[in-house]
Structure 1
Amino acid sequence: MTIFRGENYFHQQDFPFYIDKYTILKGQHIPSHTHDFVELVFVLEGSAIHEMSGHTYKLAAGDVFVLEPQVYHSYTCSPDEETIVYNVLFDASFLQREMEVLQQMPSFVNFFYLVPFLRKSQSFVPYHPLQPSQKLQIQSHLQTIYDEFRQRREGYQLIIKTRWIECLVWLSRFHHENRKTMQPSAVSDKEWMDSIVNFVETHYYQPLTLQQLSQLCGMSISSFTAKFKEATGQSLLDYKHAVQIRHAARLLQSTDSKVLDIALEVGFGDVSFFNRMFRKHTGQTPKEYRRQERSGAGE
Structure 2
Amino acid sequence: MKIYRNDDFSIGKEFPFNIVSCNHKAGEVYEVHSHEFVELIYVKSGNGFHTYKGITSTLNQGDVFVIKPGETHGYQIDQDSHLSTYLLVFQPEILQRELEVLSEITAFIDFFYLQIFFQNDYEFKSKLVLTPLEQIKMNMLLKSIQEELIKRDLGYQLLIKTRLIEMFITLSRIYEKVKLKANFHPDEDSLIIERIADFIENQYAKSISLEQISQLAGMSKSTFTTKFKLHTGTNFIDYRNNIRIKASEHLLKTSKMKIIDIANQVGFADISNFNKYFKRAVGISPGEFRKRYK
- CA radius of gyration, larger in: 2
Aligned residue number for residue 201 of structure 1: none
Q: Structure 1 unaligned runs (5+)?
A: 120-125, 185-299
8 Å CA contact retained: 1:42, 1:65? yes
8 Å CA contact retained: 2:36, 2:69? yes
* Partner AA of 1:97 in structure 2: R
Residue 159 of structure 1: how far off its partner (Å)? 1.5
Name the CA distance, whole Å, in 2 between partners of 1:115 and 1:141. Answer: 27
Q: How does 1:156-235 map to 2 (within 5 A)?
A: 156-181=156-181
Runs of 4+ in 1 over 6 A off after TM superposition: 113-116
**1:20-62: CA deviation from partner (whole Å, max 9, x where unpaired):** 0101210100111110001111110011100010111101100
Name the CA distance, whole Å, in 2 between partners of 1:50 and 1:91. Answer: 23
Total equivalences in the alignment: 178
Name the CA distance, whole Å, in 1 between partners of 2:17 and 2:41. Answer: 14
Name the CA distance, whole Å, in 2 between partners of 1:12 and 1:109. Answer: 23
Residue 8 of structure 1: how far off its partner (Å)? 3.4
Residue 109 of structure 1: how far off its partner (Å)? 5.3
Name the CA distance, whole Å, in 2 between partners of 1:63 and 1:115. Answer: 23
* Partner AA of 1:86 in structure 2: Y
**1:166-197: CA deviation from partner (whole Å, max 9, x where unpaired):** 1011110111113333899xxxxxxxxxxxxx
Aligned residue number for residue 38 of structure 2: 38
TM-score (norm 2): 0.55
Aligned residue number for residue 127 of structure 1: 127
Name the CA distance, whole Å, in 2 between partners of 1:115 and 1:178. Answer: 22
* Partner AA of 1:82 in structure 2: H
Aligned residue number for residue 138 of structure 2: 138
Q: How does 1:9-158 map to 2 (within 5 A)?
A: 9-10=9-10, 12-100=12-100, 101=102, 104-108=108-112, 112=116, 117=123, 119=125, 126-158=126-158
Name the CA distance, whole Å, in 2 between partners of 1:114 and 1:105. Answer: 13
State the superposition RMSD in angstroms. 2.6
Residue 158 of structure 1: how far off its partner (Å)? 1.6
8 Å CA contact retained: 1:111, 1:175? no
Paired-residue identity, %: 31
Name the CA distance, whole Å, in 2 between partners of 1:27 and 1:176. Answer: 35
Name the CA distance, whole Å, in 1 between partners of 2:8 and 2:124. Answer: 29
8 Å CA contact retained: 1:111, 1:172? no
Aligned residue number for residue 196 of structure 1: none
* Partner AA of 1:44 in structure 2: K
